[in-house]
Amino acid sequence: MSPGDLVPIPHTWVLATSAVLFAVGTIGVLLRRNGIAIFLSLEIMLNSANLAFVAFAMKFAGSADTMAAALSGQVFVFFVIGVAAAEAAVGLALFIALHRLKESIDVDRVNILRW
């Protein structure tokens, strides 16, 4: 591919992929009871958001005056990955503490604050 070729993929395709992945992640979050499995579904949802950022970065990378917006899209994916790393560390530490307390990470058994 020579420099200057346009990527022949409409940004709507990327957005559609992102929507499908987000729906799959939502199903996982709503239907799983195991804490780690819920967390993995959450990572799928975060990544589908990344894909949406990338789709709009693609859209705005076309002309020179929207180039800042296109770069911001990629920078935000970087930030989302940073936040996801922090969230994974804290969340997994929470599950370790929970497992020590309850011998299980089934979220249905964590009901002290319920009702």
**Contact set for another protein, span 35-64 (CB under 8 A):** 36-37, 39-41, 43-44, 47, 50-51, 54, 57-62
Of 6, 111, 112, 113, which lies in the binding site for another protein, with binding defined by CB under 8 A? 6
Query: How many residues in the shown chain lie near another protein by CB under 8 A?
Result: 81
DSSP state of 64: G
Tell me: does residue 113 bind another protein (CB under 8 A).
no
Give, as ranges, the residues between 53 and 112 that touch another protein (CB under 8 A): 54, 57-62, 67-68, 70-72, 74-75, 77-79, 81-90, 92-97, 99-101, 105-106, 108
CA distances from 55 to 92, 96, 97 (A): 30, 36, 38
Tell me: does residue 11 bind another protein (CB under 8 A).
yes
- Least spacing, CB of residue 111 vs another protein, in Å: 14
The answer to whether 18 touches 49, Cβ cutoff 8 Å, is yes
Tell me: does residue 5 bind another protein (CB under 8 A).
yes
What span, in angstroms and rounded, lies between the C-alpha atoms of 29 and 42? 7
Q: What are 75's two structure tokens?
A: 């920078």
Residue 38: how many CA atoms within 13 Å on its side-chain side? 14
